[in-house]
Amino acid sequence: MVTAQSVVLALLAVFLAISTVAPTPTNTTGFVNCLVFHLPPGIIYTQGSSSYPSVLEYSIKNLRFVTPGTPTPLVIIKATNTSHVQASVRCGARHGVRVRPRSGGHDYEGLSYRSLDAARRFAIVDLAALRAIRVDVRSETALVGSGATLGELYYGIANKSARLGFPAGIGPTVGVGGHLSGGGFGLMLRKHGLAADHVVDAVMVDAEGRILDRAAMGEDAFWAIRGGGGGSFGVVVSWKLQLVRVPATVTVFTVHRPRNRSASDLLTKWQQIAHGALPRDMILRVVVQNQDAQFESLYLGRCRGLLATMAKTFPELGVTRQDCIEMSWIESVLYFAFYGTGKPLELLLDRGSKPDRYFKAKSDFMHDPIPKNVWESTWEWFLKDGAGLLILDPYGGRMGAVAPSATPFPHRRALYNLQYYGSWFDNGTEASEKHMGWIRGLHREMEPYVSRNPRGAYVNYKDLDLGVNDSGGDSGGGTSYEKARGWGESYFKENFERLAMVKAMVDPSDFFRNEQSIPPLP
C-alpha cells in the first residue's frame, strides 16, 4: 500500500541520492561573483589579491602548512557580520565551493586554512573580526564571538570582575571557536570540567545559511557542537558561556625534578595522587623534557592550603613556601602562558602575527599508571636528536563526574591526558622527519600502556596519522562512515555514531567537510 509516509520517504531517498551522487560542480567565477554581489567591498580576498598572502598567514600557527606546495583557499572572506557568514555559505552551496570556518587558526593539522590535496577546493570564512565579548556580571555569563581568543576572553572577564573566570585552555592566542568546538580544557578542569561544559547557548550558521540558536537548532545539534570537533556541523558565530567563580587569591608553583633526583619515582607517585587524592581546587600537571620533570600547579586558594595538601598527599615532591606564588586568577593565566610574573595583562590581547615554528603533536588517554621501569627507560628517548616533550594533564574531580555521553568528549574517566609535542625552527625536510619521527616513535612505544579498543585521542590535538578519507575532493562523494570510524572512534568512542546521526540531520549533503570531519550516518 502506498501511504503518504512512504511517498515522502521515497522522495527523500531520491533527494538524498541526487544530493550525494551529483554534487554541484565547482564554479569559482560564479562563487566570486556571488560574493561580490552579496558582500560589502574590502572583505573578499581572491588568490590574485595583493594582500591574500598576509590575510591567509596572519592566523596560521604552524609553519608546516606555509609551504609553496600547500593547497590554499580559492577565496578568504573576512566576515565582520553574521550576514557575511550566511552569504558565504549560500554562495558556496550554490557554486560548489566548500567553506571552512577559521577562528584562531590553531588547528594542529591546519585544516581551517589548508586542504590535504589540491582537489579539495575550498574557501575560508575567517571569523577573527567577529570577536565581541560582553560580560554580564549579574548573571555571571558572557556572550563571546568565535573569533575572540582565549586571552581576550579571560581579559574581558577580569576587566569586569576579579571574582569571575572561565575554565578553558592555556594558550592565550587559541581561538574560542575551534576550542569550544573540540571541548577545551585547561588548569581549572578538575574543578569545572571542560570549557564546552559551560556553553549555555550558541548561534550557528547552518549549511543552508540559516541562523540558528540553541532552541532553533535543537538539543542534538547543540550537543554535537560542544565537543564534536569544528568544521562538521556549521559555522558557530557566537557562544553564551556560564562563567565560574574564582577566589581573590590563587597560588601557583613550578618545580623541576631532574631524572637523577628521583623523577621516575615522583612520576610514578604522581600518577597515584594527581587524579584522585588531590582536591578539585588543585591541579598538578607535568611537562617531561630533556632529563627533567617539571611539575606545575594552580591551586584555587592560598599558599597555606596548598602546602597542607601537598604535605598530606605528595610530601616526596618537596614543595616549600618559597615555591608558592600568590596572585589573582588573571595573573595566573599570564603566568602559565609563559610570560612570568609582573607583566601587563594586555599581553593577553596579543593575537600574534606570523607563524614562527613547525610543530606536530599526538595524544593518548591513560587509564592505568605507567610502571616505574617504563618511566626509567623512557628517559633515553629524551636524549635522542629531535626529542620533543610530553605534557601530562591529570583529570579527575569534576571531569570524571560528568557522564561520557553528556557531551561528545568521551574521555572523562581517564587518569590523565598525555600529549606528545615537538616544535622546531629548521625548515629542512630532514629536521621535520627527525622531530615527527620522534613523536611517532614514542607514541608507538607507549601503546601497551595507553587506552585501547580504540586507542583514544583528543580531537583538539588533531592528528591526521589516525587516517583521512582519500576521496574528499569537491566533486567526490565525501567521507565514508566506515572509514571515518577509524579516527572518529578514537576521538569520540561510542559518541561517534550519534555525531554521525546529528550530521545526517543538520548537514545531510556533507557541505561542511574536511579531511577528518564527521560524515553523515548512511
Ligand X SMILES: *[C@@H]1O[C@H](CO)[C@@H](O)[C@H](O)[C@H]1NC(C)=O
Ligand Y SMILES: Cc1cc2nc3c(=O)[nH]c(=O)nc-3n(C[C@H](O)[C@H](O)[C@H](O)COP(=O)(O)OP(=O)(O)OC[C@H]3O[C@@H](n4cnc5c(N)ncnc54)[C@H](O)[C@@H]3O)c2cc1C
Nearer to ligand Y, 105 or 397 (CB): 105
From residue 508, give the alpha-carbon distance in Å to each of 218, 259, 273, 351, 486. 16, 53, 46, 35, 21
CB 221 within 8 A of CB 212: yes
Identify how many contiguous H helices and E strands the chain contains and give both numbers.
Answer: 16, 18
Stretch that binds ligand Y, among 164-172, 368-376, 449-457, 500-508 (CB under 6 A): 164-172
156 binds, options ligand Y, ligand X, none, Cβ within 5 to 8 A by partner type? none
Stretch that binds ligand Y, among 27-35, 65-73, 100-108, 449-457 (CB under 6 A): 100-108
- Residue, CB closest to ligand X: 30
Of 452-481, binders to ligand X (CB under 6 A) are 469-471, 477-480
| N- to C-terminal Cα separation, the chain | 26
- Is residue 238 near ligand Y by the rule CB under 6 A? no
- Residue, CB closest to ligand Y: 230
- Residue 345 and residue 151: Cα distance in Å, rounded? 9
Binding test (CB under 6 A) with ligand Y, winner from 23, 92, 151, 169: 169
Binding mask 53-92 for ligand Y (x = CB under 6 A): --------x-------------------------------
Strands 98-102 and 122-126: parallel
Q: What is the DSSP letter of 335?
A: I
Q: How many residues are present in the chain?
A: 522
- Is residue 181 near ligand Y by the rule CB under 6 A? yes
427 binds, options ligand X, ligand Y, none, Cβ within 5 to 8 A by partner type? ligand X
Binding mask 255-294 for ligand X (x = CB under 6 A): ---x-xx-----------------------------x---
Nearer to ligand Y, 106 or 259 (CB): 106
- Residue 151 and residue 143: Cα distance in Å, rounded? 15
- Is residue 100 near ligand Y by the rule CB under 6 A? yes
Binding mask 1-40 for ligand Y (x = CB under 6 A): ----------------------------------------
Q: For the chain, what percentages of helix, strand and coil (3-state, to nearest 5) are there?
A: 40, 20, 40
Stretch that binds ligand X, among 75-83, 101-109, 278-286, 373-381 (CB under 6 A): 75-83
Taking the CA atoms of the chain, what radius of gyration do you get in angstroms? 23
**What ranges in 43-149 are assigned the alpha helix state H?**
52-57, 82-95
Which of 27-63 are b and which e, b meaning 16 or more Cβ less than 10 Å from the residue's Cβ?
Answer: ebebbbebbeeebeeebbbbeeeeebeebbbbbbbbb
Stretch that binds ligand Y, among 49-57, 230-238, 250-258, 289-297 (CB under 6 A): 230-238
- Residue 64 and residue 41: Cα distance in Å, rounded? 32
Minimum CB separation from ligand Y for residue 264, in Å?
26
Closest CA to 96 of 470, 471, 510: 510
CB 492 within 8 A of CB 3: no
Binding test (CB under 6 A) with ligand X, winner from 19, 24, 46, 83: 83
Q: What is the DSSP letter of 190?
A: H
- Residue 521 and residue 506: Cα distance in Å, rounded? 11
Binding test (CB under 6 A) with ligand X, winner from 256, 302, 483, 485: 483
262 binds, options ligand Y, ligand X, none, Cβ within 5 to 8 A by partner type? none
Site size toward ligand Y, by CB under 6 A: 33
Stretch that binds ligand X, among 27-35, 270-278, 361-369, 452-460 (CB under 6 A): 27-35
**Residue 280 burial class via C-beta count within 10 angstroms: exposed 0-12, middle 13-18, buried 19 and up:** middle
- Find residue 169's DSSP bridge partners: none
Stretch that binds ligand Y, among 22-30, 106-114, 283-291, 408-416 (CB under 6 A): 106-114
Binding mask 151-180 for ligand X (x = CB under 6 A): --------x---------------------
Closest CA to 241 of 192, 197, 200: 200
- Residue 114 and residue 355: Cα distance in Å, rounded? 14
Nearer to ligand Y, 251 or 517 (CB): 517
- Is residue 185 near ligand Y by the rule CB under 6 A? yes
As given in the structure block, the three cell numbers for residue 10 are 521515497
Stretch that binds ligand Y, among 171-179, 216-224, 247-255, 448-456 (CB under 6 A): 171-179
Q: Classify 258 as helix, strand or coil.
A: strand
104 binds, options ligand X, ligand Y, none, Cβ within 5 to 8 A by partner type? ligand Y
Using CB under 6 A, list all residues that contact ligand X: 27, 29-30, 33, 81-83, 159, 258, 260-261, 291, 427-428, 469-471, 477-480, 483
